Amino acid sequence: MVQFRQHNLLNSHQLGKFDIIFCKNVMLYFDESYMQRVEHHLYNALQPHGWLFLGQAEALRFEREQWQTHVFPGAPIYQHQSSEPLAFDDTPKQPKYDIDDTQPTIVANTVEVDYYLQAVEAVHEDDYTQAERCLSHALYHKHALIPTHTLLAWLFANRKAFPEAEAHITATLSLDPLHADAHYVSALIALEQNQIQNAIRALHMTLYCDKYHVLAAFMLGNLYAKTGELSRAYSQWAKIQRVLDRFQPSDYVSDLSDLTAGQLDALITAHLNDT
């Protein structure tokens, strides 16, 4: 029998106990303190070894070690791992919603990229939560799927949600095996997990797909410098500076970074002076 009830996710006493919880595209609209509160309540509302399903553009942010992440086609699924409830301050608070109801400007034949472009703008403004919201809309409407999956992978990798990041990289590469940004994010994931050789291979693949990929060349130069291969490092950095001549100093160098051309050039100059 199915029962329909109204609950407040911020009130743990209303939830009950469940084997499976579907909570898709909800937590994106809370600020971080309330996201943490809801995550704790959902964990405590699950039976031991119960399952939590989130939206495709979402990933757990807190107490990740308490969950087992299973990656399935389409989205990761989280499994409760303990019979012990998580302790959390349940003092009632007024929920702070942070909802952006702004709809993208619709222009003939370009609507499919609007959500993605809004996400890129949010990344450039360091508003990663808003970027995830926009990308959630993009996935729902199946707009700009290749860059959307790639940018989500980058966002998840930045907060060390590696299984979720890898799932989105897999989705990107299934659509375009030579997508340079996807291979670059694979390198980031490998580097974060101290898999240096895997990172170098992924960076070489990135540059094979796009020889002007300045972020990949910069990272590869840094890795060469760390291993004492200074001539190879200088070669990569010099290549970047030639490419940056095509940019205005205020131009962003990538959708996957808030670095401008001027900032990247300054970083390279500092590296050249220090080595």
pLDDT at 159: 87
**What mean pLDDT comes out for the span 96-106?**
44
3-state secondary structure of 17: coil
Q: Is residue 91 predicted with pLDDT exceeding 80? A: no
pLDDT at 121: 94
Q: Is residue 170 predicted with pLDDT exceeding 50? A: yes
CATH architecture of 113-211: Alpha Horseshoe (1.25)
Q: Is residue 202 predicted with pLDDT exceeding 90? A: yes
| pLDDT tens digits, one per residue of 219-275 | 999 999 988 999 999 999 999 999 999 999 999 999 999 999 999 999 999 888 876
| pLDDT tens digits, one per residue of 12-39 | 666 678 899 898 888 878 877 788 888 8
Give CA separation, 142 vs 25, 108, 273, in Å. 15, 17, 46
**What mean pLDDT comes out for the span 135-164?**
90
How does the average pLDDT of the chain come out, rounded? 84
| pLDDT tens digits, one per residue of 40-58 | 888 888 888 899 988 888 8
pLDDT at 116: 93
Q: Domains of the chain: which residue ranges?
A: 18-80, 113-211, 212-274
Q: Model's pTM, two decimal places?
A: 0.78
pLDDT at 44: 86
Write the DSSP string, 39-103. HHHHHHHEEEEEEEE--TT----S-GGGEEEEEETTEEEEEE--SSPPP---------B----PP
pLDDT at 155: 94
Buried b / exposed e over 196-206, threshold 16 CB at 10 Å, is: eeebbebbebb
pLDDT above 70 covers what percent of the chain? 85
Write the DSSP string, 192-235. HTT-HHHHHHHHHHHHHH-TT-HHHHHHHHHHHHHTT-HHHHHH
**What mean pLDDT comes out for the span 79-105?**
55
Nearest of 30, 18, 80 to residue 58 by alpha carbon: 30
d(C-alpha 31, C-alpha 14), whole Å: 21
**What mean pLDDT comes out for the span 179-185?**
97
**What mean pLDDT comes out for the span 171-197?**
95
Q: Please report which confidence band the pLDDT of residue 156 belongs to, taking 50, 70 and 90 as the band edges.
A: very high
Q: Is 21 exposed, middle or buried (0-12, 13-18, 19+ CB in 10 A)?
A: middle
The more confidently predicted of residues 9 and 265 is 265
pLDDT at 150: 96
